[in-house]
Amino acid sequence: MSPSRSLSHKHIWKVYWTLIFPFAGFMIGHKLDKLETERMTTFRDKSALYGRELKPGEPPSWPY
């Protein structure tokens, strides 16, 4: 196979950069959102306005 017919990394980057950036941004944002949700589980059902005592065996109010 000649070098002109093979796909190099530069060629793939040049053609698909408009797809790579949004997908990478989505994946990074999704990961950050999951980490923030995990961090906020420390405070669930403990606020002064919405907090309440859970019955034994009752699941937490969020995340679903």
Q: Give Rg (Cα) of the chain.
A: 23
Residue 54 lies in a domain: no
Residue 26 lies in a domain: yes
Residue 50 lies in a domain: no
Residue 1 lies in a domain: no
Residue 46 lies in a domain: no
How many Å from the N-terminal Cα to the C-terminal Cα in the chain? 53
Report residue 24 as tokens: 């990478």
**Bigger pLDDT: 44 or 21?**
21
Number of domains, the chain? 1
Cβ proximity of 60 and 45 under 8 Å: yes
Residue 16 lies in a domain: yes
- Domain with 26, as residue range(s), is 12-36
- pLDDT at residue 36, as a whole number: 93
Q: pLDDT for 15-37, tens place per residue?
A: 888 888 999 999 999 999 999 99
Residue 20 lies in a domain: yes
> Could you tell me which of 1, 3, 20, 24 has the C-alpha nearest to residue 12?
20
